[in-house]
Copies of this chain bind each other. A is one copy, B any other.
């Protein structure tokens, strides 16, 4: 139990915000956690499950004496929340977010920044297909990467923040916003887009076939439906805000898919087998990297 910050304010009490509060408490990382959310339903769940030490519906009031402010809201809302909380933060405090896209967040927060606030964007590579405060749990971040974007912040401030993140259970890794968005476009955003698409294709089938697709969903499709059950608003914002990198990766993917489509049409089994053999190697690399 190591106290890192006296007061931590979490704005947005969804799956991520709730889990941050619970993991902070587990690690004894803060004197108290103040939660904030504009939704009365979320507020009621937070109260019922006792997810925070204090709840304050008004974000401006929630942050006024916090040493660390975490914006855990969909990336499309980060700019507005920053505009709301930054004028009320105390000098020397640290501001971060948990958004899945980083160039857009850096762009949207920039107009609201103050010289006496340390802005350290971040992104936990953790989550489930469930959403809302009731889905939060204290072990969500254990062993998962948490990407830190130090920007031009003071090194001592960043190091302290990383100590807090490590205390939540995560492994810290520094990146630039642009590189982060490129890596995530392929590892997370494109797979989600494809899963949403194929499940959507099934939704549009005639009733009998659709029912049987659901009934006999084999491992491939079943995995996709889990991914495609993720929070709609969060993911809408991801695609709107990492559009450049996603569209670039999608272009590559479409070309590669056309290549396989053509190989199937022309019965070129050697091309299929060659690719299917190469992709096995990637799985081995992931298992070797301990990310399985």
Residues of chain A having any CB pair with chain B under 8 Å: 76, 125, 127, 129, 145, 147, 173, 179, 182-184, 186-205, 209, 212-230, 232-233, 235-237, 239-240, 243, 246-247, 249-250, 252-254, 256-257, 260-261, 263-265, 267, 269, 272-273, 275-286, 289, 291-292
| Chain B: CB-nearest residue to A228 | B279
Most buried by B among A196, A204, A227, A243: A196
| Chain B: CB-nearest residue to A233 | B273
- The answer on a CB contact under 8 Å between B220 and A191 is yes
With A239-B264, A276-B236, A285-B214 already in contact, the answer to whether A256 and B125 are too (CB < 8 A) is: no
Distance (whole angstroms) from the CB of A241 to the closest CB of chain B: 10
Distance (whole angstroms) from the CB of A284 to the closest CB of chain B: 8
* Cβ contacts under 8 Å, A127 to chain B: 219
- The answer on a CB contact under 8 Å between B239 and A272 is yes
Q: List 10 A-B contacts (CB under 8 A).
A: A125-B218, A196-B279, A201-B252, A214-B286, A217-B289, A223-B227, A225-B286, A236-B273, A237-B269, A239-B264
* Cβ contacts under 8 Å, A250 to chain B: 257, 261
- The answer on a CB contact under 8 Å between B190 and A209 is no
Distance (whole angstroms) from the CB of A100 to the closest CB of chain B: 9
Which of B213, B227, B232 is close to A273, meaning CB atoms less than 8 Å apart?
B232
- The answer on a CB contact under 8 Å between A186 and B214 is no
Copies in the complex: 2
With A129-B283, A272-B235, A272-B240 already in contact, the answer to whether A187 and B220 are too (CB < 8 A) is: yes
Q: Which 9 A-B pairs have the closest CB atoms?
A: A191-B220, A232-B276, A229-B283, A188-B218, A228-B279, A199-B279, A187-B221, A236-B273, A236-B272
With A216-B187, A253-B197 already in contact, the answer to whether A282 and B203 are too (CB < 8 A) is: yes
* Cβ contacts under 8 Å, A281 to chain B: 203
Distance (whole angstroms) from the CB of A49 to the closest CB of chain B: 23
* Cβ contacts under 8 Å, A199 to chain B: 279, 282-283
* Cβ contacts under 8 Å, A228 to chain B: 276, 279-280, 282-283
* Cβ contacts under 8 Å, A218 to chain B: 125, 184, 187-188, 191
A118 to B278, CA, bound (A): 40
A138 to B203, CA, bound (A): 35
* Cβ contacts under 8 Å, A233 to chain B: 273
- The answer on a CB contact under 8 Å between B256 and A257 is no
Which of B191, B195, B260, B280 is close to A232, meaning CB atoms less than 8 Å apart?
B280
With A200-B279, A201-B256, A257-B194 already in contact, the answer to whether A187 and B217 are too (CB < 8 A) is: yes
Distance (whole angstroms) from the CB of A218 to the closest CB of chain B: 4
With A218-B188, A247-B265, A277-B232 already in contact, the answer to whether A260 and B183 are too (CB < 8 A) is: no
